[in-house]
């Protein structure tokens, strides 16, 4: 029988609705570069690193840039993004997050953050969520973007829990694939038509409880 000993959470789009700000900032850059960029295109950027996202955006516009220019545009996008998130408060935490994290703590299930973002500490501090986490692995600690499992394997390692006892909560296709590649369970947050490979999908964490975790077999 499975026993979940750790829950690993993606940040953007799972704990807080920052995915919309990533989209707005990429859209602004796309406009500046005269690249057409839709919400559907944006799905491919979810969960992956800033530089990998820029590469996808440039390929949509058949554009090639020097490394120096790429760094410049990635920084520009990040400055817009940081401006958008500067006004985040605990009111922006997504439904059910605090209740579910508290439930896990009460049942001694470990909690980790597994995010590609280099802004994760800034965001967790603004949301007052830092103290819930037993491990925080983010874009500053990893070198390989999701769907590579590095971020989630590092969470398991830091928690000293086997991947087979871990479940990942993700809103991005690349994140669900990273969980599968890590040998972990995965629960999608959002649309079942996009997150087809997850063990199951819920709208948000207010639909989660211990009974649902025990469904993972």
Residues at the site binding ligand BG6, with contacts judged by CB under 6 A: 11-12, 22, 45-50, 53, 78, 115-119, 139, 172
Q: Is 49 annotated as a binding residue?
A: yes
- By a kind-dependent CB cut-off of 5 to 8 A, residue 117 interacts, out of ligand BG6, Mg ion, none, with ligand BG6
- Check: CB of residue 16 under 8 Å from CB of residue 127: yes
State the DSSP H helix or E strand holding residue 56, giving kind and residue range, or none if neither.
helix 50-60
Contact call for residue 12 and Mg ion (CB under 5 A): yes
Q: Which does 147 bind (CB under 5 to 8 A by kind): ligand BG6, Mg ion, none?
A: none
Is the distance from CB of 8 to CB of 184 less than 8 angstroms? Answer: yes
Q: Does the annotation mark 12 as catalytic? A: yes
Whether the CB-CB separation of 12 and 18 falls below 8 Å is answered with yes
CB burial of 94-115 (b: ≥16 within 10 Å; e: otherwise) equals: bebbbebbebbeeeebbbbbbb
Q: Which of residues 131-190 bind Mg ion (CB under 5 A)?
A: 171-172
Q: Are 63 and 82 in contact (CB under 8 A)?
A: no
- In the bound complex, what is the minimum distance in angstroms from residue 15's beta carbon to Mg ion? 9
Is residue 170 marked as binding?
yes
> Nearest to Mg ion by Cβ — which residue?
13
> Does the annotation flag 26 for ligand binding?
yes
**Two tokens, residue 144:** 């390989």
125 assigned binding-site residue? no
Cite the annotated binding site for Mg(2+) by residue number. 10, 12, 170-171
Q: Catalog residues that contact Mg ion under the rule CB under 5 A.
A: 10, 12-13, 171-172
């Amino acid at each position: 029988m499975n026993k979940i000993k750790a829950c690993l959470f993606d940040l953007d789009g799972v704990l807080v609705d920052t995915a919309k700000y990533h989209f707005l900032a990429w859209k602004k850059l796309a406009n500046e570069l005269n690249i057409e960029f839709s919400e559907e295109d944006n799905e491919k950027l979810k969960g992956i690193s800033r530089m990998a996202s820029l590469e996808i955006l440039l390929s949509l516009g058949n554009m090639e840039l020097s490394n120096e220019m790429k760094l410049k545009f990635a920084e520009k996008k990040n400055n817009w993004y940081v401006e958008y998130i500067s006004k985040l408060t605990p009111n922006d935490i997504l439904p059910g997050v605090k209740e579910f994290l508290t439930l896990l703590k009460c049942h001694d299930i470990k909690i980790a953050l597994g995010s590609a973002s280099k802004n994760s500490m800034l965001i967790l501090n603004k949301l007052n969520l830092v103290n819930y986490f037993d491990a925080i692995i983010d874009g500053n600690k990893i070198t390989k973007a999701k769907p590579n499992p590095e971020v989630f394997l590092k969470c398991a390692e830091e928690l000293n829990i086997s991947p087979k006892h871990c479940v990942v909560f993700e809103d991005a296709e690349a994140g669900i694939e990273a969980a599968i590649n890590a040998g972990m369970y995965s629960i999608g947050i959002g649309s079942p038509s996009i997150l087809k490979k997850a063990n199951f999908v819920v709208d948000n964490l207010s639909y989660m409880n211990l009974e649902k975790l025990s469904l993972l077999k």
